[in-house]
Amino acid sequence: MKKLLFLSMLACSVALHAQPRGGKQVAPLTINKDRSVTVRYQAPATVKEVKICGDFLPFKVVSTEKWGDREEFTPIVMKRNTEGVWEYTSAALKPDLYKYWFEVDGVKTIDINNLYVMRGGRSDNANFFIINDGISANYITQQVPHGTVSARWYYSPYFKKDRRMFVYTPAEYEQMSTNRYPVLYIFHGSSEEESSWLTQGRMVEIIDNLIAQGLCEPMIVVAPNGDLDSQASYYTMNFDSSNQPHMCDVQNRSRGKENFDYYEYEHSFKDVINFIDSNYRTIPSKEGRAVCGVSMGGRNAMNVSRLQRNTFNYVGLFSPALEPEIHFPNKGYDQDIIESLRQQAKDGVKLYWIGVGQHDLQWKTNVPFRKILDEVGMKYSFNPSDGAHTYNNWRVYLTKFAPQLFK
């Protein structure tokens, strides 16, 4: 009994000493009535400088010869108040989802007082907040019927190993047991992972809300893994920090290899389609399939749709990475690419949708691509916007693209 009492007292002592001691509780991030935001960071007195970083800060437009105009967000040095807490209050913000982090004497860290944290790729962890109004209301979990997201493993005969993807089914999928549904395949960008559209992209919230509003057809959405070498998000598979992603960078991956397949991801994608059609109640035809993606994923969508003829009736390219000397086998738009696009145009695509920001690093590289589409007779919808190469634009593009599908 005495032993149990001692252990109980010891446990209480450890618990008490584990609590924070001294200091005032720092107020969390505050969204003010005028839509400005105040962020705070409490640091030891020895800290010399705290910077706030994020996409809600003022930006400058930088002109480059290679990429054209680009937006660059400049970190801002916060001010230490009389209580020793570093603070920054922004200007009024437009409705959107914004991410941010701190640099404390040059070291990146997140805001521990804000529970909303997202993985933005292989190493980009950041806090976020949402200014809720207008289109950004679609980024929030609303009181509507919710779909189901599953992490699905499938065997890829092409890669000869299991791989993972995320699959969204609409809220009615379980109840409407005989209905069949169209499928949207959605690709992430370079150095990201299969979960990126669920975190940064807010895909689940967007599709749930659009379906509930009657703006979007109930659909299955598939977010596959675009890393060619890993089976899944690398943190899922092991804890080896030296394991770096190998995306669809054909120039680097082809070095020293004979008979290299520059389009191995695109050719392997039949494995994904076959698994989805075999395990879900899909509409297994061109009319029931759409594909879209961001950056590298936009290029994947372009290549998959042209190389797998009559497979997709809807194509969405969101800031597609289409720099010819880097992203294509012969360092340019060779005749094979042009002819396959010509054949795709001849076969017919109900919607070929392109969105890119005027300060996007891919704005300039998309100009020659659209000229080729004009030459081969491909009808497309070009949707220029403000903004840069970020999910701030890509969430908007998905919100505009999805309602046009499967009509």
Every domain of the chain and the residues it spans? 25-131, 139-250+265-404
Q: Give the E-state strand segments of 90-193 in sequence order.
A: 96-104, 107-109, 117-119, 125-131, 148-156, 161-169, 183-187
Q: Exposure of 9 by Cβ count < 10 A (0-12 exposed, 13-18 middle, 19+ buried)?
A: exposed
- Residue 81: Cβ within 10 Å count: 10
Q: What's the count of helices (H) and strands (E) in the chain, helices before strands?
A: 11, 20
Is residue 204's pLDDT more than 90?
A: yes
pLDDT (tens digit, 9 = 90+) per residue, 344-354?
999 999 999 99
pLDDT (tens digit, 9 = 90+) per residue, 82-108?
888 999 999 999 999 999 999 999 999
∠392-59-128 over CA atoms, to 5°? 40
214 CB-near residues (< 8 Å, 6+ apart):
none
> Is residue 70 a contact partner of residue 356, using CB atoms and an 8 Å limit?
no
Please tell me the predicted confidence (pLDDT) of residue 14.
30
Please tell me the predicted confidence (pLDDT) of residue 231.
82
Please tell me which residue, 308 or 250, carries the higher pLDDT value.
308
As a CATH number, domain 139-250+265-404 is 3.40.50.1820
Please tell me the predicted confidence (pLDDT) of residue 365.
87
Please tell me the predicted confidence (pLDDT) of residue 179.
95
Average confidence (pLDDT) over 259-286? 90
pLDDT (tens digit, 9 = 90+) per residue, 133-185?
999 999 999 999 999 999 999 999 998 999 999 999 999 998 888 999 999 99
- The share of the chain scoring above pLDDT 70, in percent, equals 83
**Taking all residues of the chain, what is their mean pLDDT, rounded to a whole number?**
85
Looking at the whole model, is its pTM more than 0.85? yes
Is residue 336's pLDDT more than 80?
A: yes
Fold classification of 25-131 (topology level): Immunoglobulin-like (2.60.40)
230 CB-near residues (< 8 Å, 6+ apart):
237, 243, 245, 246
